[in-house]
């Protein structure tokens, strides 16, 4: 009997594995860079090096690197590879000649694949590859760089606010592992909210992963399963698990709002605001209005993800202003983030800006 039950490999939860896979490739690049620059690794990186990198060191060469040692565990599974194969099957059905464009030929040549690769040929290669190698073949440089910029920016944002807040809430948390890999103190709680199928997968995998990579965080980490749209249940569960609406909170919405319509975003933002006192911060990532023109060369699978997008904005500040986060609003697109980290004289464009990060206080 066919059911419509969503699992980690279908529906929007599958996007959390895509993100984790790219973070793994960037993490491996981080380790490679450290080894090349320093000829040695700091002690805390050794468990990752010994247990993962030495066995599978597939990298994405990005302009910035980040370190997420748990991402590997989520992306090296059969489920992860199934997501790629399912998407390629759809491409084979709907657009079998797509690989004939120059963009794909260039990508294949960069990856050492034949330039005249067919979709069926790619499916066979993916079947014979490890999940991580498979992701390295289907994820384009632009997307890898986008993930590196966004992850680095938010990691540093959390680090610079780590002592200011005791409550962090990550909505649409997916396979985000900041609650484990950032140096939170034991007076901090990090809540994560996502669909039950995401947490089922995440918890099963993390149970084993933390035995290999011990978390540096001392925070309490609470997973709340539920749909953020169309109900207040997630707020009830948040409060029942100790969330104090009178304490300032840092909210993170990364890779989430594009899957929610403008109407529902307004409701969600007002819900957040209703439990955020003065001095709370809201950090959101949104797609810019012209993302459709700019995001063609993100990954072989981007067309299937793009179909799930429901919103974009050229004025993301409005989301915050409308719900009362009106102080010190700043928006950073990918060019801004690139300038923050890389030399301002650099003429190298890392990737076209197709998303932006906006943050503001209450």
| Shortest reach from residue 270's CB to ligand SAM, in Å | 16
Give the total of residues touching ligand SAM (CB under 6 A).
20
| Residue whose entry in the numeric block shows the structure tokens 């929007």 | 12
- Single out the segment in contact with ligand SAM by CB under 6 A; choices: 26-34, 136-144, 168-176, 341-349: 168-176
Q: In a 10 Å sphere around its CB, with 0-12 CB exposed, 13-18 middle and 19+ buried, how is residue 164 labelled?
A: exposed
327-333 and 355-361 as β-strands: parallel, antiparallel, unpaired? antiparallel
Q: Judged by CB, which is closer to ligand SAM: 166, or 311?
A: 311
298 binds ligand SAM (CB under 6 A): no
Q: What angle do CA 338, 342, 348 make, to 5 degrees?
A: 75
227 binds ligand SAM (CB under 6 A): yes
Q: What angle do CA 166, 174, 66 make, to 5 degrees?
A: 75
Q: How far is CA 93 from CA 86, 96, 283, in A?
A: 11, 6, 39
Which of 31, 119, 126, 173 forms a contact with ligand SAM (CB under 6 A)? 173
15 binds ligand SAM (CB under 6 A): yes
316 Cβ contact list (under 8 Å, min separation 6): 284, 286, 331, 356, 358
Q: Judged by CB, which is closer to ligand SAM: 80, or 198?
A: 198
Q: What is the spatial distance between Cα 100 and Cα 94, in angstroms, rounded to a whole number? A: 14
176 binds ligand SAM (CB under 6 A): yes
Which of 28, 65, 198, 288 forms a contact with ligand SAM (CB under 6 A)? 198
| Shortest reach from residue 59's CB to ligand SAM, in Å | 19
- Single out the segment in contact with ligand SAM by CB under 6 A; choices: 110-118, 216-224, 253-261, 324-332: 253-261
| Shortest reach from residue 232's CB to ligand SAM, in Å | 13
| Shortest reach from residue 100's CB to ligand SAM, in Å | 29
68 binds ligand SAM (CB under 6 A): no
13 binds ligand SAM (CB under 6 A): yes
69 binds ligand SAM (CB under 6 A): no
Q: How far is CA 131 from CA 10, 52, 265, 285, in A?
A: 17, 14, 34, 27
Q: How far is CA 97 from CA 20, 93, 142, 302, in A?
A: 29, 10, 22, 16
| Residue whose entry in the numeric block shows the structure tokens 């957040």 | 272
Give the interface with ligand SAM as residue ranges (CB under 6 A).
12-13, 15-16, 19, 172-176, 194-195, 198, 227-229, 254-256, 259
């Amino acid at each position: 009997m066919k059911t419509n039950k969503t699992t980690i490999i279908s529906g929007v939860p599958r996007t959390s594995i895509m993100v984790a896979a790219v973070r793994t490739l960037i993490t491996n690049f981080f380790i490679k860079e450290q080894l090349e620059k320093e000829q040695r690794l700091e002690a805390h990186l050794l468990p990752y090096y010994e247990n993962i990198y030495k066995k599978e060191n597939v990298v994405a060469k990005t302009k910035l690197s980040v370190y997420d040692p748990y991402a590997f565990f989520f992306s090296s599974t059969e489920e992860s590879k199934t997501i790629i194969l399912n998407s390629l099957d759809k491409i084979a059905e709907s657009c079998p000649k797509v690989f004939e464009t120059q963009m794909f030929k260039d990508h294949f040549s960069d990856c050492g694949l034949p330039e005249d690769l067919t979709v069926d040929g790619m499916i066979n290669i993916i079947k014979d590859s490890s999940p991580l190698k498979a992701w390295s073949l289907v994820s384009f440089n632009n997307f890898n760089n986008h993930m590196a910029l966004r992850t680095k920016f938010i990691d540093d944002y959390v680090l610079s606010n780590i002592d200011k807040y005791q409550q962090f809430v990550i909505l649409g948390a997916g396979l985000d592992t900041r609650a484990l890999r950032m140096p939170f103190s034991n007076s901090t709680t990090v809540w994560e909210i996502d669909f039950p199928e995401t947490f089922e997968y995440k918890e099963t995998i993390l149970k084993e992963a933390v035995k290999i990579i011990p978390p540096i965080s001392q925070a309490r980490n609470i997973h709340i399963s539920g749909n953020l749209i169309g109900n207040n249940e997630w707020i009830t569960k948040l409060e029942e698990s100790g969330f104090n609406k009178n304490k300032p909170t840092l909210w993170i919405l990364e890779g989430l709002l594009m899957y929610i319509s403008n109407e529902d975003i307004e409701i969600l933002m007002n819900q957040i605001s209703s439990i955020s006192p003065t001095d709370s911060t809201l950090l959101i990532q949104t797609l810019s209005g012209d993302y459709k023109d700019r995001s063609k060369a993100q990954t072989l699978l981007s067309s299937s993800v793009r179909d799930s997008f429901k919103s974009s904005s050229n004025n993301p500040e409005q989301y915050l202003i409308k719900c009362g986060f009106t102080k010190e609003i700043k928006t950073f697109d990918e060019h801004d983030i690139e300038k923050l980290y890389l030399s301002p004289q650099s003429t190298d464009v890392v990737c076209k800006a197709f998303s932006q990060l906006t943050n503001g206080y209450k």
